[in-house]
């Protein structure tokens, strides 16, 4: 494989649209997934915040990021 065509599976940050702002998701207005709800419930308990069960996928993603930061589980 040439350098111009790297294997995206082996790249740490493939040049694609894999990382999008949740506000730009085409399915962002759908109900949050079960995985999001479970993780959000855990983070809510750890942070002492109320669990919001009726969030959309996009809202849940944003809230998860906020609570990860608050609980020290953020990537930064």
Give the pLDDT confidence score for residue 55 in this predicted structure.
Answer: 95
CA dist 34 and 55 (Å) reads 11
What lies within 8 Å, CB to CB, of 64 at 6+ separation is 36, 39, 40, 43
Give the pLDDT confidence score for residue 1 in this predicted structure.
Answer: 46
CA dist 34 and 13 (Å) reads 26
pLDDT digits (tens, 9 = 90+) for 13-22: 655 556 677 7
pLDDT digits (tens, 9 = 90+) for 22-53: 777 677 788 999 999 999 999 999 999 999 99
Q: Is the separation of the CB atoms in 76 and 48 below 8 Å? A: no
What is this structure's pTM? 0.67
């Amino acid at each position: 494989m040439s350098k111009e065509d790297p294997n995206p599976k082996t790249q740490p940050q493939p040049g694609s649209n894999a990382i999008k702002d949740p506000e730009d998701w085409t399915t962002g207005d759908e109900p949050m997934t079960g995985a999001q709800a479970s993780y959000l419930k855990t983070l809510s308990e750890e942070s002492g915040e109320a669990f919001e069960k009726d969030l959309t996928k996009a809202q849940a993603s944003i809230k998860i990021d906020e609570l990860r930061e608050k609980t020290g589980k953020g990537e930064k």
